[in-house]
Structure 1
Amino acid sequence: MSTITTADDVSLYYKDWGPKDAQPIMFHHGWPLSADDWDNQMLFFLSKGYRVVAHDRRGHGRSDQTDTGNDMDTYAADVAALVRTLDLKNVIHVGHSTGGGEVIRYVARSEPGRVAKAVLIGAVTPIMLATDRYPGGLPMSVFDGFREALARNRAQFFLDIPTGPFYGFNRGGAAVSEGLIRNWWRQGMMGGAKAHYDCITAFSETDFTDDLQAVSQPVLLMHGEDDQVVPVDASAREAIKLLSNGALKTYPGLSHGLFATHPDLINADLLAFFEA
């Protein structure tokens, strides 16, 4: 397995496929998943001649099951460490959900020449929790419920999420994929319960306002209009107001996991943005 060791002695697993002199795309997964969530996109963009990279966030997948450092600042520092180790330049960063927050926090602090563009898919930006500044967010009781369900029976919780709201499989007439449900559960159960528990605070309470305002590179926001996990009105439609070089594309009827349920559509739109 390919791994790096961070400054605080955490082993991070990563994939790095394709020509080392090609433009890199780095994919950042959502909670509580792993780099495997991007298999379709990595294979697709590999076939288009790109170098594709993805890592398992600390505490997730095949990376160390850390009990500390499960916060956005550390996640972004881990990304910077991997980018430096692989000496990636002119990178396009693509993040989903929690990974979208990780991307914008990293890009806002990145070294010159490292970042070309960024894409936030169903991202948790600017903040998921309802605050005085963003009253349309979700109440703390939602995230307390996540923590309670995870602590009580993580295995069942990690079946309930993909079976229901994550992919919109709880909607009438949905084309349910048992494979996606099982793969979500498999990825989730690979990670550490403590890291997953802590990450709920990271993805719900981190305010990315300053990060969004600090980024000058082109940023594409992609969001399903029927996202039941990160509602579009409280996230992407707020985040676009804070970007100096942003574009917003929403998808009627699509869910939080839209890049997995509709990969052909999303991959085509990603490719158009990359090549613009």
Structure 2
Amino acid sequence: MSQSIHQATRRGVMTAGLGLAAAAAVTPFAQPAQASTKQPSSKGTDTMSSSTITTKDGTQIFYKDWGSRDAQPIVFHHGWPLSADDWDAQMMFFLEKGYRVIAHDRRGHGRSSQTATGNEMDTYAADVAELAEHLDLKNAVHIGHSTGGGEVAHYVARARKGRVGKAVLIGAVPPIMVKSDKNPGGLPIEVFDGFRAAFVANRAQFFLDVPSGPFYGFNRPDAKVSQGVIQNWWRQGMMGGAKAHYDCIKAFSETDFTEDLQKIDVPTLVLHGEDDQIVPIADSALLSIKLLKHGTLKTYKGFPHGMATTHADVINADLLEFIKA
């Protein structure tokens, strides 16, 4: 365990995997299972809308859908414990570039149902598949950060032919976080037990400690700290369901995405900050790139886990170049 990880939060709780989380729920709180409810798509060719779909198990998934319905779609997948709002800088940038931009709140997060059980990656990916079907997305670019990167890998490896054109993993959790005989460079299970303990003891304080410190690199001596960014992280986190968030810790730390990465057959860009204190680069991006058939790796010296926010101008430009190529 590195020294920087020991310093991750004021309580010394290991935060080296906090931007992740992976999961899916089968039984939402106080919602009976029901058949999938198809809702009419937004009319017109150029709109900005938000809505929900109801999945096969009765879970409501909130999503934003902006831009021309005739444009190439870009779908954004957020990290734990955040929401679609974490992609504001990318949504605005690519909307202005003429793309159709879509972001959803993962079940148990943000404005989606606060799911009780079944929070694991299989159901998360199934929810994305239902959303893609509902919106009839074709040749979409799926971009995932942290846990969202795991969701992208799990979905793209299973997506219907023609649904996905390209994929991007940013500070993403694959191949696997937790240490084992097969993954000796991973983080010890005690790290994630520490997450759970801090979360249960005081979720609200924990959700201040993480963005104030390692998530955005605000614990570095030369960091330019943004109180607004910290508060926005806290706001998004506290919108979600505590039970779903808790379950996600196991999902993001123990899900093995190795086979998913090997199955992905579309061009995939892997972006990672070299000073990522949440998802250390050596046991994530540097391993993932070896498993991808059509992967491209780009790393950034000194960039933190939340670099899509702190260095949005750089990341957006590199995303645009990859999408247009």
TM interval, short-chain normalised: over 0.9
Q: Which AA in structure 1 matches 2:64?
A: K
Determine whether 1:93 maps to 2:142: yes
Q: Which AA in structure 2 matches 1:86?
A: L
Determine whether 1:197 maps to 2:246: yes
In the alignment, which residue of structure 2 is the partner of 1:120?
A: 169
CA distance in 1, matches of 2:218, 2:142: 28
Match of 1:103 among 127, 152, 156: 152
Among the aligned pairs, what percent are the same residue? Answer: 71
In the alignment, which residue of structure 1 is the partner of 2:34?
A: none
TM-score under structure 2 normalisation? 0.84
Deviation readout 1:8-60 (Å, 9 max, x if unpaired): 00001000000001000000000000000000100000000000000000000
CA distance in 1, matches of 2:113, 2:317: 34
Mapping for residues 65-214 of structure 1, pairs under 5 Å? 65-214=114-263
Determine whether 1:43 maps to 2:92: yes
CA shift, 1:69, in A, is 2.5
TM-score under structure 1 normalisation? 0.99
CA shift, 1:86, in A, is 0.5
Deviation readout 1:234-276 (Å, 9 max, x if unpaired): 0000010100100110000010000000000000000000000
CA shift, 1:130, in A, is 1.1
In the alignment, which residue of structure 1 is the partner of 2:65?
A: 16
CA distance in 2, matches of 1:11, 1:271: 31
Query: Could you say what secondary structure the match of 2:119 adopts?
Result: coil
Structure 2's unaligned 5+ residue stretches are 1-49
Q: Which AA in structure 2 matches 1:106?
A: Y
Determine whether 1:218 maps to 2:267: yes
Q: Tell me which stretches of 4 or more aligned residues in structure 1 moved more than 6 Å.
A: none
Alpha carbon RMSD of aligned pairs, Å? 0.6
| Matched residue count | 276
Q: Which AA in structure 2 matches 1:80?
A: A
Deviation readout 1:224-243 (Å, 9 max, x if unpaired): 00000000000000010100
CA shift, 1:67, in A, is 0.6
CA distance in 1, matches of 2:220, 2:181: 32
CA distance in 1, matches of 2:303, 2:96: 26
CA distance in 2, matches of 1:52, 1:262: 20
CA distance in 2, matches of 1:157, 1:240: 32
CA distance in 2, matches of 1:85, 1:157: 36
Deviation readout 1:81-106 (Å, 9 max, x if unpaired): 00000000100000000000000000
Query: Could you say what secondary structure the match of 1:67 adopts?
Result: strand
Query: Could you say what secondary structure the match of 2:173 adopts?
Result: coil
Structure 1's unaligned 5+ residue stretches are none
